[in-house]
A and B are shown apart, each in its own frame.
Chain A
């Protein structure tokens, strides 16, 4: 049966890396300019991010990056030309991904549903972050308010050289068949 084949194909992905080419390494070490930019964007006045004296007298003993900035450090440097034509993907992607398997099966819609972070330690200036992401689970087909779909969960482990784990992120999306919602 085709459904079994698809299930087998999807279950084979669990534990496999999302994307190719090994870990995503941050293009820049944790640095004050990007932290300052982030703090300004969210009007976050926490002094441990930008004030060296206040940070030195805090429990952190010096400047730290905002904890939920963890994901930002390893975001790919985009190629802006043609980004709209790539569906918003920041960089060129070639070949199949697990998500294209789901697209071909009709689950072309994407809706992010959950994001969960565990912060092991705050990042300090100079830390170089790497991210490794693997598929944690792909659900069986479920009827959702968006239509028929499958929940896809991946886990990203963030490390600082050589191999210190500084945080983990669990991210879940629903891949669904648009227009299939019950009336």
Chain B
């Protein structure tokens, strides 16, 4: 969904929920696409030796999904200028990871809208990621 061009974002606007059914393939693909070859992100036997029940998602994948969550909503003309995340419970295959968020602030600077977003990504175990982000958008006309 792309932000409607007829109106700028407003504080409290929800972002469309992003639901990710997490599989081992998805975790391994994200790790390798981000050049993170730590075996805990692709080798279940190694993860078990480290005391984890399975492979788990790497942090570069988290920031990747955060940026997708933001620009799926804001559209291709959005620029992500800041992202700050706090890491919570790990994500394993079989989990469903759900990103939710809302507009927390809006301002106009020059010919751009500056939008602050507060968001979280959670599974049944709790918050995996909580964070805030700043995007700029060419000011709607």
Contact = CB atoms under 8 A, between A and B. Distances in A.
Interface in B24-40: 26, 29-30, 32-40
A54 interface: yes
A68 B64 contact: yes
A115 B65 CA distance: 14
Contacts of B80: 67-68, 119
Interface stretch (B8-16, B66-74, B102-110): B66-74
Given A58-B77, A68-B80, A72-B34, A112 B46 contact: no
A42 B60 contact: no
Contact of A114 (B33, B39, B85): B85
Interface residues of A, number: 40
A116 B84 contact: yes
Interface stretch (A82-90, A123-131, A149-157): A82-90
Interface size class of B (residues with CB under 8 A): 35 or more
Interface string A36-59: 011011111111100000100011
Interface in A46-104: 46-48, 54, 58-59, 66-69, 71-72, 75-78, 80, 83-84, 88, 90
B71 A113 contact: no
Contacts of B65: 42
Contact of A72 (B35, B66, B83, B87): B35
A61 to B, nearest CB: 11
B37 A90 contact: yes
B98 interface: no
Given A116-B83, A117-B82, A118-B81, A72 B60 contact: yes
Contacts of A59: 77, 79, 138
A48 B71 CA distance: 11
Interface string A5-38: 0000000000000000000000000000010011
10 contacts: A42-B68, A46-B68, A54-B76, A58-B76, A59-B79, A72-B33, A75-B34, A84-B39, A113-B86, A116-B83
